[in-house]
Amino acid sequence: MPAPPSSGPPLATGALPDADALPTGTEKVRAVRAMFDTIAPRYDLVNRVMTFRMDVGWRRRTVRALDLPLGSLVLDLACGTGDLCTELVRSGHRPVGVDLSFGMLAAARTRAPLVHADVLRLPVPAGAIDGVTCGFALRNLEELPRFFAELARAVRPGGRIALLEVAEPPNPLLRAGHAVYFGKVVPRIGGLLSDPAAYRYLPRSVSYLPSAEGMLAMLADAGFVDARHDLLSVGIARLVTATRGDEG
């Protein structure tokens, strides 16, 4: 499964601690940013190997789910190395990538402009954006309600968001197999190809995510309508979409 795109006292190794307690608040922000600076050079390689290239199809579906006119201005938040930005360009949109990790931005291979910024404090006027994409980053953010509120501020009424994340299959047998792969195999692959601590963090980071119902409720509270939560590839990934409601 893709490693989390970026978002404490600074850690000497640039990776998250292996203790049972996951970091929260500003400590989490600093630790995750340092981790992504560390894994940026081999980020794309590890993603392709761990997902058997399924992540490519998930990103294409994410862009299609925006359902926006050609030429729409779309922010790709926690853009990492720019895979979603590249897909947005191919689909005829005008993407701008935003990430907190200098390492990820330096490793990006995309024609889209890139901005170093905190996705909880987007450097755009209210209602200036047609749409937002975000891939595998929700669990790494400091606070989801604040993030959704910032999306509601930045996206125009009628604009769209499409948020891609990891998930657990609802089928008990598939869930058991996924738990072994995600919890045991993925950290080994990531450790061999990149930073071991980062890929031990990956399966544990799922615990940051609310339930599907909880996430949809947060979006509604922020001002989004027609929110959907769709499982992909028998439930190992999820796609959350919504439309910015009319103001007033």
CA atoms within 13 A on the CB side of 178: 19
pLDDT at 3: 40
pLDDT tens track, the chain, 248 positions = 444 333 332 333 344 544 457 899 999 999 999 999 999 989 888 888 999 989 999 999 999 999 999 999 999 999 999 999 999 999 999 999 999 999 999 999 999 999 999 999 999 999 999 999 999 999 999 999 999 999 999 999 999 999 999 999 999 999 999 999 999 999 999 999 999 989 899 889 999 999 999 999 999 999 999 999 999 999 999 999 999 999 74
Residue pair 34/14 in contact by the 8 Å Cβ criterion:
yes
55 appears as a binding residue in the annotation: no
pLDDT of amino acid 172 = 95
**Strand intervals (E) in 112-223:** 114-116, 129-135, 155-166
Q: Answer for the pair 246, 127: CB distance below 8 angstroms, yes or no.
A: no
Q: What is the pLDDT of residue 203?
A: 85
- Residue 10's closest CA among 28, 142, 19? 28
Q: Is residue 110 within 8 Å of 97, Cβ to Cβ?
A: yes
The reply, when asked if residue 81 is annotated as ligand binding, is yes
The model carries a pTM of: 0.89
Q: What is the CATH number of domain 25-170+201-244?
A: 3.40.50.150
The CA-to-CA distance between both ends of the chain, in Å, stands at 40
Query: Is the separation of the CB atoms in 122 and 132 below 8 Å?
Result: no
Q: Is 119 among the annotated ligand-binding positions?
A: yes
pLDDT for 20 equals 56
* pLDDT the model gives residue 19: 47
pLDDT at residue 59, as a whole number: 96
- In order of 27, 102, 239, the CA distances from 15 in angstroms are 12, 15, 27
Contact 38, 103 (CB under 8 A): yes
Crossing angle (nearest 10°) for helices 54-66 and 83-90: 50
Looking at residue 23, what DSSP letter applies? Answer: P
Q: Parallel, antiparallel, or unpaired: how do β-strands 114-116 and 129-135 relate?
A: unpaired
Map out the domains of the chain as residue ranges. Answer: 25-170+201-244
